[in-house]
Structure 1
Amino acid sequence: MKLKAVIIGFSHMHVNEVALYISEQEDFELVGAADVKSSVDDIPPLRYTPKWNLENVRENYCKNIYDDYKQMLDELKPDIAFILTENCQKPEVVEECAKRGVNVSIEKPIAVRYDEAKKIEKSVEKYGIEAVVNWPVAYRPYLYKLKNVLDSGVIGKPIKLRYINGHTGPLGKGAKHRGVSSKAEEMTDVQRGKTWWHHLSHGGGVFLDIACYGCYFSDWFFGKGKSVISCGENLNTPFGDTEDNFAAVIKYDGAMSVVEGTWTTPRAVIPSGPMVLCTDGVVMCTGGAENSPDVKAFDIYGNELEIPGADLSAEFKNMPEMYAHHKKTGEDVFKMLTLSENMKIMTMLDAVIKSSKSGKEEKICD
């Protein structure tokens, strides 16, 4: 019997690739989808806006669209809900799913703040459901190749992560997202400013969009940090109240992560992907995030080293593949997709954001 899946929320443009992946996974059936009402102003259904995303999913993957997601849960009784709402809506939606015994896949990051993530954790534990967190980077083979180099010790002990990522904003000029072949349509600043991405109260901004990835890699490579100092500014998007550029340093005992993100400069013209400096060399991503990315390693003298590849098993393709494999075999999902690991990631992201507000170094909570 196939796993019955529903989609809740069309606010995140990742919904288009998630719907595609569900439709391609032979053990899944996408039985319904519903949006969650927002308090942001309506704008025309331009590509990658919630209304456009809904119609794209309706046309290509699921005709059964509900006006009320709670009614959908009650009537369809799905096995799992893929949640792609505004970040601020996630705790409430998870609770409604949990009350009905519906497992959840939450699009990264898990919440706006750590205390909101704790609400999600409480709902999951209270009602005994499964919760996983979907990170697109969890399915990139070249990143496992990089991790294999670190684990091998061939270039010594990892001591410094450098990570920068950028685009012109989720709905910026030339923006393109997996699952759709075309780029974002031109929008006016007034239209863009009305989207949830540019409202702090809805969980918008570059910190939740990009700093979360830096926290993900920091946790994966080094574990949970001790403290953070960061700075965020709105440098080129005055139509919103969110930061569009940031820099942060996550401190460890004997290591650090330097994380940067921008909504003003695309990956095509800046280096992208993690680089890890080690005691005896460096390992780095090459080719850019979208141009045949690979990994190279060099010793301390600049000599390129031969490094092993990463032969990932079939479930490391996307979340529907990962979750179907988990249900069929009983094996755990990849640890970076688990709720427990994402609570650690959220403590770091929370400290990054707090430091940018306070102007002080902030301790990462236990």
Structure 2
Amino acid sequence: MNTYRVCIVGFAHVHINDVAAHFAEHPQIELVGCADTAPLHPELKRGAPYTREWNIRYCSEKFSIPVYGDWKEMLATQKPDLCVVNSENAYHVEITETCAALGIDICIEKPMATSLSDGLRMARAAQTHGVRLMVNWPVTWNPGMQMIKTMIDRGDIGRVLEIKTRMGHTGPLGRGARHKIEQTAEPMSEADKAATWWHRHECGGGAMADYCCYGSVLSYWYAGESATAASGMRVNSMTLLGDAEDNSAMFVRFPHCYAVLEGTWTTVNHTFKSPIVYGEHGAIVGDYKTGKVLLYREDNTVEEIRNDPLPPELTDVAGAYVHHRETGEPLHYTALPEFNLEALAILDAGLRSADNGKVELVNNLHWQIG
């Protein structure tokens, strides 16, 4: 049985505690090192739950991972098979290009990037050096989200007309926040939160990048076609000392349907169901937090759907990587660069639109210059 050596670079993203657990628990994975990136902006409340210092301490102690002070030195020394990246979004390009040049596979935490030009740099680096580049989306391993795609493809609601997503909570470090482990976020002042990368524009923070990215992925996946244009709006409702938005919305045009995508960091409790797919003959209502799926039919009946069981390679990101290496079978297409560039192009257009107040075309490999 082959063993794959894995390093972790970046502990800014709150998903790392859950992601690290998946790799630590896989019998064919050896976690050989971890290191954080240097924060672009210093945090004020250092060591609070889900901040970068807390995350690296939690993971290194819980999963017995050696800690390095310099991530580039760690990669050069350890020469892992895979680098798991959970840095702030602004570092994704640099880490990907560094890993690719060293012949190391890369697993990027969502979103792939916050601009299509950055995503293309990452994809080109991986292709140039012949390494694997995958993007970890929690929705990929969610039975309900997979079931919705199955229902659309088999025609349960006829032609798709509209896709609506609303993703969010009180914020990554908001009151009551918990990210798939027992720890709950501690109260933070507005200044404390504003100093974290999440609320800093230069770091790739903001609710649009954090949550409209999910909508971009789900809408492209469920529509089954490339988007053509998008408009976006961003507002900073409650964290005014930071310069990134805490609420956002996008309106996306596809050739045969449209999508409404919302991202929020100011919503208390789970007050909404998402995604919702409206079709000619009914609607599919999912809940990304619970995985439950409901089918609303033309005759006004509602059926709770039993999700199809996922195959072992779709259990989690670690299992997917190992299965791919062991069998040579392709990764799920939502993890592949080609798929992610299409979804990123939607997010990119929405971000540009939010900045200039105009509807923006959704670019692609051929139309993105620079």
The bucket for the TM-score relative to the shorter chain is over 0.9
Match of 1:300?
298
- CA distance 1:201–1:254, change in 2 (3 Å): same
Match of 1:218?
219
Secondary structure in structure 2 of the residue aligned to 1:18: helix
TM-score (ref. length: structure 2): 0.95
Deviations 1:289-326 (A, max 9, x none): 44x44111122231225756312101111110000010
User: Do 2:162 and 2:257's aligned partners in 1 also have CA atoms closer than 8 Å?
Assistant: yes
User: Do 1:227 and 1:250's aligned partners in 2 also have CA atoms closer than 8 Å?
Assistant: yes
Q: How far off is 1:63 after superposition?
A: 3.5
Match of 1:342?
340
Listed as ranges, the matches of 1:348-363 within 5 Å are: 348-363=346-361
Match of 1:200?
201
Listed as ranges, the matches of 1:271-310 within 5 Å are: 271-285=272-286, 288-290=287-289, 292-305=290-303, 307=305, 309-310=307-308
Match of 2:61?
59
Match of 2:367?
none
Match of 1:89?
91
In 1, distance between residues paired with 2:272 and 2:229?
A: 26
Listed as ranges, the matches of 1:236-315 within 5 Å are: 236-266=238-268, 268-285=269-286, 288-290=287-289, 292-305=290-303, 307=305, 309-315=307-313
Unmatched 5+ stretches in structure 1: none
- AA paired with 1:164? R
Secondary structure in structure 2 of the residue aligned to 1:118: helix
Q: How far off is 1:255 after superposition?
A: 0.5
Secondary structure in structure 1 of the residue aligned to 2:18: helix
- CA distance 1:27–1:360, change in 2 (3 Å): same
User: Do 1:148 and 1:308's aligned partners in 2 also have CA atoms closer than 8 Å?
Assistant: no
Match of 1:156?
158
Match of 1:20?
21
- AA paired with 2:75? L
User: Do 2:145 and 2:288's aligned partners in 1 also have CA atoms closer than 8 Å?
Assistant: no
Match of 1:141?
143
Deviations 1:155-178 (A, max 9, x none): 211110011112111111111102
Deviations 1:104-150 (A, max 9, x none): 00011111211111211221122111100000111011112222211
- Give 4+ residue runs of structure 1 displaced > 4 Å after superposition: 305-308
Match of 2:102?
100
Q: How far off is 1:154 after superposition?
A: 2.5
In 1, distance between residues paired with 2:305 and 2:11?
A: 41
Quick one: percent identity of the two aligned structures? Answer: 32
Q: How far off is 1:41 after superposition?
A: 1.4
Secondary structure in structure 2 of the residue aligned to 1:66: coil
User: How many residue pairs get matched?
Assistant: 361
Secondary structure in structure 2 of the residue aligned to 1:155: coil
User: Alpha carbon RMSD of aligned pairs, Å?
Assistant: 1.3
Q: How far off is 1:101 after superposition?
A: 0.4
User: Do 1:40 and 1:194's aligned partners in 2 also have CA atoms closer than 8 Å?
Assistant: yes
User: Do 2:142 and 2:288's aligned partners in 1 also have CA atoms closer than 8 Å?
Assistant: no
Secondary structure in structure 2 of the residue aligned to 1:4: strand
- CA distance 1:53–1:304, change in 2 (3 Å): same
